Structure formats: C-alpha cells, structure tokens
Amino acid sequence: MEKIKSVVAITPVWNEPLGMIQQFLAGIETVRNTLVSQGVGFRHFFLDDGALNLPDEYSILVRNKENLGLARTLVRGYKAVLDLKSKPDLVIRLDCQEHDPGKIPFVVDHLAHASSIQCLFLPVWYWVEGCDRPAIREITYLIADFCRGLSPIDRDRVLGIYNQKFPLGYQAYRVGSLERLLPRFEQGLEVFQSRFGTPATWGFDLLAILLSAQQLGSDAIDFVFGGWSSSWIENRGPDKIAAQKKKAEAMIDVAMTISQT
C-alpha cells in the first residue's frame, strides 16, 4: 500500500447559490474529520471565478476579478496548488453542484491501494427525478467503452459517451503526475486559443482526461462511478447539449494536435 499523507481538494465556483456552497462545505468538513482520524492531512480551497456568492471568510486559493471560464480557472488552481509551501500527495478537483465530497475518502483509499494508478476520474450520471436510472452494469460498460477510445483517440466513441449524462469533472491526480501534466494542460489552452480565436471555457475536463491517457498511458488512469447528480436545468435542453458537443469536439482536436508535438 502506498501511504497518502496529505490531500488538497479544489472547487471552482462561479454562479452556484450560497445555500449550495454551504451544504457542500458541510460535506467537506465531514470528509476532513474522517481523513484526519486516519492520519491524512486534508485542505480544501475554492477557486473564485468571479463568483457571485462566495464569502471572503472561506478558504480561497485563486481569485479571478472577472469570470475567466472553467478551463483557465482550473489551470490557475492547479498551478497554485503546486506552488503551495507544503505540496500534497494527492490533488482532487470537484464541484459543488454535481459531486459528492463524501467519496473523497474512497478516492484516497483506492489510490493508496493502487500504486500504479496516477489519475482517477469519477464520472457521474445526470439523473432527473422521476425517471428510471440505468443499471450500474450499463454504466460500467459505458466507462469501459469510453476508456477504449482514449489512446489512440477514437473521436466517435468519445463523443458518443462524453456528454450530458456522463460528465467527468470529478478528478484526482497524484502530485507528481499533475506536475508532469500541467505544462500539457497549459499547452492545450494555448492551442485552443490559437486555433479557435477565443479562450477555452467548457470542455477542459475532457481535455485533461485525453492528455492524461496520452502522456501517462491508459494503464496509469482509472475510472470509478461517482454517483448520481441532478443536472442544472439549463443543461437539459437540446441546444445546450449540441453546444457542449461542439466544444467537446474542439477539445478532441486540441488533444490530437498536441499528440503530434
């Protein structure tokens, strides 16, 4: 077993309501108590992406004076974590709205017992109350199918799975792997800006997965189901789904460009 002694979790915030943030923090405190009782140091920070409802007294690692979008905010957050005086063994990224902080102890335990795994991704399933949920075995098949499309990249396979019902923003990195990946993440944002003439916003999570598989190898990454989540009402419409698919296509293009460098 590879002992994990210190964990840092980061959470980007933009338009989440204060009540949601407070409920999320209650879960974070439960996680802190659990990990500390196991001898694991735990720190949590918010990334303020021009947030509307983020009180100053909260632990904030990055402050954007205006909304820069998720991609640039996350890269700034990862850089800030790596610049901490005391670096963690593990860096976890999760959101307030769709990710369960209660799974963090499981992530720590899983990676402690899987020393060859450098990155762990936890796909969630967007679920609308009153609708049937898919069987877990169906989700497991989807995860396996998605993995087959990562290296080399199978565009159709990735796009057919990575979209509304299967977001993959819950991510964990061993700090050494994050140090190795961060220059590629930054390169990805530069390639996106150069190719499309606008800064990257949504879709960075997919790019991070593709670059992780590309740089570290498919055997070094793992996927575990992250649970059920109620999606933002704005994310359920066909126009939004189409727009996000277009952005995912752009991130695949960026990852394939980087693979040739």
Per-residue confidence band for 2, with pLDDT thresholds at 50, 70 and 90: confident
Q: What is the pLDDT of residues 78-132, one digit of tens each?
A: 999 999 999 999 999 999 988 999 999 999 999 999 999 999 999 988 877 778 8
For residue 235, is pLDDT > 60? no
Q: What is the pLDDT of residue 165?
A: 65
pLDDT exceeds cutoff 70 at 237: no
Q: pLDDT at position 238, please? A: 72
Over residues 47-63, the pLDDT tens digits come to: 999 998 998 899 999 99
- State the pLDDT at residue 231: 62
Residue 18 to residue 102: CA distance in whole angstroms: 20
pLDDT at 236 over 80: no
Check pLDDT > 80 for residue 191.
yes
CA–CA distances in Å: residue 168 to residues 61, 165, 256, 261: 23, 10, 19, 26
**pLDDT for the residue 128:** 75
- pLDDT of 166 reads 75
Whether residue 228 is predicted with pLDDT greater than 60 in this model: the reply is yes
pLDDT interval class at 197 (50, 70, 90)? very high
Stretch 7-23: mean pLDDT: 95
Average pLDDT of the residues of the chain: 92
Higher pLDDT, 261 or 38: 38
Pick 239 or 40 by higher pLDDT: 40
Q: How confident is the model at residue 201 (pLDDT cuts 50, 70, 90)?
A: confident
Q: What pLDDT is attached to residue 144?
A: 93
- Identify the pLDDT of residue 243: 78
**Sequence letter at residue 256:** M
Over residues 163-191, mean pLDDT: 92
Q: Which CATH architecture has domain 6-259?
A: Alpha-Beta Complex (3.90)
> In this prediction, what percent of the chain has a pLDDT beyond 70?
96
